[in-house]
Structure 1
Amino acid sequence: MIAPAIPRPAFSMSTIPGMPSPSIAVRSMSLISAAVRIFMGVPPTGILAQGRSIDFASGPVLGNTTKNRGNRVNEKAKIPSLLRRTPWQLVAVLGLLAAGLAVAFLAPSRFRPFMAVAFIVLCGALLVLLWRLAVSTYEGFQRTKWDQANKAMSDYMQVLIDIMPNPAFFKDVEGRYLGTNAAFERLLGRSKSEMIGKTITDVAPPEIVELQQQHDQALLAEPGHHVYEAPLKAWDGEHQVIFIKTTYTRPDGTIGGIVGILKDITQRLRTEEELDQIRRFSDSTVQTMTEGLVLTDAEGKFTFVNPAAARMLGYAPSEMIDRPVLSFVPKDQHGLVRRADEKRAKGISDRYELAFTHRDGERRTFIVSGGPRVQGAQLGGTMAVLTDITERKKMEEEIRALSLHDELTGLFNRRGFMTLGGQILKTAGRLKKSVALIYLDVDNLKRINDTGGHKMGDRALVEIAFILKKCFRESDIIGRLGGDEFAVLAMETTRMNVGSLTDRLQGKLAAFNERSSAEAGFSLSVSAGASTREPDGQEAIEELLSRADLRMYEQKRVRKGLEPGKPPGPSK
């Protein structure tokens, strides 16, 4: 006979005072398990919720099913590494909780209230640990996110400075270079690998480090931008550089460091220094030149008068500034001044004679060589050089009265040339100017006369006279001394270059021969000799003429291939 089974009360969570029902406990454990898996980064395969299983991997919450199956495989592969990051406290609490549940099923009923309290304490500890794990995971995620954002920002800034033509860099708040461009590397003569992660102390000479660090510290203390000029010693010498520095902000809102752009102004400063030297030289030249130099504005008033121009009219420069030009010109010359101003307004430069009234009332004649001064698109006035020819005009009038001109060519004859030449030498001595005399003899004039008669010979002389007038200035004295001999007397303010004068004449003759010799029936050539007198020289016109005559005959002999012989006598 089988003994009846003694009824044994089944263990139930509901029998423990204050404990939830079995269904609630199961669901709580499922939720806790799912939360643990979520915080550990492992998606739960299913949890009990509202009496049915929900698959987070395949549900509509996570979207595409095929893609999420691959995600589940990847997540399973990550479980060992995730477990390695799980805090030991969580493992211990879960172990104690599991052990407590097992003991609760097996423990006598008198211990069940204590087990309920222990269960509640363990659940609280579990929740605390889960919260700490969640916070730690979130902070790690945030750190990773900001690290990625900072990395992306650094890459963007590197691209930004790479396209800049000027040297540029950026560095962190501790002064370490994070990026440089090619221009900055060329300027310092260092590669990028030699600078990244280094400070200015490591890459720059000590004499400039302190100044740069002071600017950087001041900029970081008060974020914004600084612009300053300072020397920079590079591989090829010292440069003068404009530094443009500004702070930049990281994605998390903190100051990330400094961006710097450099503008090398060394060449500009050298150019400015050279221009300043040229300007000082020009000012000195203008103030000491013997010719007059004046500037006028668009209203016809003097804005600048050099000492020579003022002295020619008997004034001081300050007495002429801001006064109209017409106030120094006789009334019968006003029309000439207005016509000249009309030419200036059209951008035309010219030379003309103009009479001025000296302070003592004397009428003096000047050659005015002027041109327009342009300011933007408007006429700014005139710049003109004044040459006093009063004495020359007086001498010309006297010579004309004495009929000292050659009738054939219209040039001065010998007497006119010698008379006017003597006066020019006196003027040159007073003004400390050098003088050159060129003596000319027409080659083969006898052959031209024999071939075409004296009429063709006369035409050859007229053509020579015409070429001489075109080749030399109006202020130079040109004369026909007789027969086939001509002379030119030129006065200059600087050391004479006689070779350039004779070369210019030979060029004019060559141009005539090329264009007109066939039509004229003859070619022109001359033999020339020259002599000069320095500003402090005392030679008379006869002595200059004799020296030039001798050198002309020496050249003629050389051209004919003859041996130099006894010098000829004085010219005709």
Structure 2
Amino acid sequence: MKDEDKTREQLLKELSELRQKIAEHELPGSPRGRTGDALMEKDERFRSLVDSAEDSIYLVDRDYRYLFMNKKHLSRLGLLGDQFMGMAFGELHSPKETKTFIEKIDRVFKTGGSGQYEYKSDRDGRFFLQTFSPVKKSDGSISAVTVVSKDISERRISEMALKESEERFRALFNQASDSIFLLKSTDEGPIIVDTNYAACSMHGYTFEELIGKPISFLEDMETSKEVREVIRRLMAGELVTYDAEHTREDGSTFPVEVSAQMIRISDRPYILAIDRDISERKRMEEELRALSLTDELTGLYNRRGLLTFAKQLFKMANRGKKGMFILYADVDNLKGINDSLGHKEGDRALVDVANVLRENYRESDIIARIGGDEFVVVPVGSTGDSTEKIRDRLKKQLEIFLEKNKREYRLSMSVGLAYYDPKKPCSIDDLLTEADELMYEQKRLKKKGGQVL
């Protein structure tokens, strides 16, 4: 009778009879008996070691029948003792898993070599790393295959989560409307190691044409000369923002606003540079200058300039469904400065405030003097920003300025912050009124001993 035709009961009976014959033959005290005892002790130590393993370990023959299972695998399959004896792999697993398992076992018997595979269990969805190794007889032929199955679910779940996170980041990276460059600093200058779709489209190059090229490849000569100074400031930990001219593949140039900072990826330093095409802004700035929309004393936009330029920002906020804050600032005690020190010193105070606002906000932000001692900045933040942080940032910039520039008076401002919500649109005049009221509320608090900006 062939082994595959034997029932489980017959196999168990034969195993029992074999054990009995060995016991009768190897009597205690005889040389063979002592050898048998030693082998049995060794076998027990081996079984104890295997049973204490955290991995599932089992042995199958050429007909895919189980010959051995450790406790870990018995527990996983819900079996006790010798229940597995004579059972085929397919009796405990799905047809799909059985088919794959048979292919792996056959490969070991055919090649005589080991193999390692990952698989996801149909039983509970967990992930395993399986190692298939041949068990060879003294003549070199293979009698069985040992399978060690290591549960790697936690690792695979972490890897899948990381991959999903990377895919989400890549999607956001490529959907950004601004050019994004990841640069590696070298002796020859920053080299492009990654970029997004917008950068390719904006400059007229393919991804492959940009990767590995120095960033100077896209910059005009004047901008390239400033790279060393930019790198120095980046290495010092600064967030560097500057305007530059970039060159397209067809040779034409266009203005960009570059924001760059040092970041670390896998503990290696890189430069992250975001370039925004400011052609439209430059065009509008020229129009504003032509229309005399600037304040003569401070060089900021005047009220007319603010209203003209802010319309475009409001349109962008509505289109992108992204809110923004507007800041309304009033110079404290300007009348007192004029009366005690003269109007020349009062004008100087206004210019100082203008310079503080320029230092604190981006060139792309609208900064305006709309009255004698009243200033407006838009936008100073967007949805999710904290008004406290916006105030603190301006306060810190003012303190830095006062430390560097000693005056006969203490320069301070009262500030109001109003939020524009695209879901509840309003006019710029309504928003200015709201910010103005909030500013006067702070001014009243100061007179009562409140915080001074």
Cα distance change of structure 1 residues 269 and 137 upon mapping to structure 2, 3 Å threshold: closer
Instruction: Report matched runs for 1:101-120 at 5 Å.
Output: none
| Residue equivalent to 1:281 | 168
Structure 1: segments with no counterpart, 5+ residues? 1-135, 563-572
8 Å CA contact retained: 1:245, 1:261: yes
Tell me by how many angstroms 1:458 deviates. Answer: 6.9
| Residue equivalent to 1:157 | 46
| Letter paired with 1:500 | D
2-side partners of 1:348 and 1:529: how far apart?
A: 29
Q: Which string of whole-angstrom CA distances, capped at 9 and with x for unpartnered residues, describes residues 176-227 of structure 1?
A: 546435xx577x286xxx5432328599954278459747964895776443
The answer to whether structure 1 residue 309 and structure 2 residue 199 are counterparts is: yes
2-side partners of 1:213 and 1:397: how far apart?
A: 73
Match of 1:244 among 120, 124, 131: 131
Secondary structure at 2:125's aligned position in 1? strand
1-side partners of 2:393 and 2:83: how far apart?
A: 72
| Residue equivalent to 1:266 | 153
Q: Which string of whole-angstrom CA distances, capped at 9 and with x for unpartnered residues, describes residues 397-451 of structure 1?
A: 66567482363x553332443444456567x499968574614143864797699
Secondary structure at 1:482's aligned position in 2? coil
2-side partners of 1:270 and 1:285: how far apart?
A: 23
2-side partners of 1:341 and 1:434: how far apart?
A: 33
| Residue equivalent to 1:321 | 210
| Residue equivalent to 2:81 | 196
The answer to whether structure 1 residue 506 and structure 2 residue 391 are counterparts is: yes
The answer to whether structure 1 residue 477 and structure 2 residue 366 are counterparts is: yes
Instruction: Report matched runs for 1:60-99 at 5 Å.
Output: none
Aligned pair count reads 403
8 Å CA contact retained: 2:369, 2:375: yes
8 Å CA contact retained: 2:178, 2:276: yes
The answer to whether structure 1 residue 544 and structure 2 residue 432 are counterparts is: no
1-side partners of 2:266 and 2:364: how far apart?
A: 35
Q: Which string of whole-angstrom CA distances, capped at 9 and with x for unpartnered residues, describes residues 310-357 of structure 1?
A: 4434x2436943665445433333323465567779998743322123
Cα distance change of structure 1 residues 378 and 250 upon mapping to structure 2, 3 Å threshold: same
| Residue equivalent to 1:175 | 66
8 Å CA contact retained: 2:246, 2:256: yes
The answer to whether structure 1 residue 487 and structure 2 residue 370 are counterparts is: no
Match of 1:334 among 224, 228, 242: 224
Larger Rg computed on CA atoms? 1
Secondary structure at 1:411's aligned position in 2? coil
1-side partners of 2:264 and 2:413: how far apart?
A: 44
Cα distance change of structure 1 residues 160 and 348 upon mapping to structure 2, 3 Å threshold: farther
| Residue equivalent to 1:290 | 177
- Bigger helix fraction: 1
Tell me by how many angstroms 1:503 deviates. Answer: 3.1
Q: Which string of whole-angstrom CA distances, capped at 9 and with x for unpartnered residues, describes residues 70-95 of structure 1?
A: xxxxxxxxxxxxxxxxxxxxxxxxxx
Q: Which string of whole-angstrom CA distances, capped at 9 and with x for unpartnered residues, describes residues 155-176 of structure 1?
A: 3324544675x41435586625
Cα distance change of structure 1 residues 337 and 225 upon mapping to structure 2, 3 Å threshold: same
2-side partners of 1:502 and 1:466: how far apart?
A: 22
The answer to whether structure 1 residue 440 and structure 2 residue 325 are counterparts is: no
Tell me by how many angstroms 1:548 deviates. Answer: 0.8
2-side partners of 1:454 and 1:370: how far apart?
A: 43
Cα distance change of structure 1 residues 320 and 259 upon mapping to structure 2, 3 Å threshold: closer
Structure 2: segments with no counterpart, 5+ residues? 1-24, 446-453
8 Å CA contact retained: 1:290, 1:431: no
2-side partners of 1:249 and 1:152: how far apart?
A: 22
8 Å CA contact retained: 2:318, 2:422: no
Higher relative contact order (CA 8 A, sep 6+): 2
| Letter paired with 1:229 | E
| Letter paired with 2:427 | L
Tell me by how many angstroms 1:239 deviates. Answer: 0.7
Match of 2:256 among 362, 366, 376: 366
Tell me by how many angstroms 1:544 deviates. Answer: 3.4
The answer to whether structure 1 residue 404 and structure 2 residue 294 are counterparts is: yes
Q: Which string of whole-angstrom CA distances, capped at 9 and with x for unpartnered residues, describes residues 357-388 of structure 1?
A: 34665542212234568898988x75532112
Tell me by how many angstroms 1:142 deviates. Answer: 6.0
Q: Which string of whole-angstrom CA distances, capped at 9 and with x for unpartnered residues, describes residues 477-525 of structure 1?
A: 1112113432222399xxx41x6263322223565899989x9757654
Cα distance change of structure 1 residues 375 and 396 upon mapping to structure 2, 3 Å threshold: same
Segment of structure 1 superposing worse, 506-515 or 356-365: 506-515
Cα distance change of structure 1 residues 513 and 155 upon mapping to structure 2, 3 Å threshold: farther
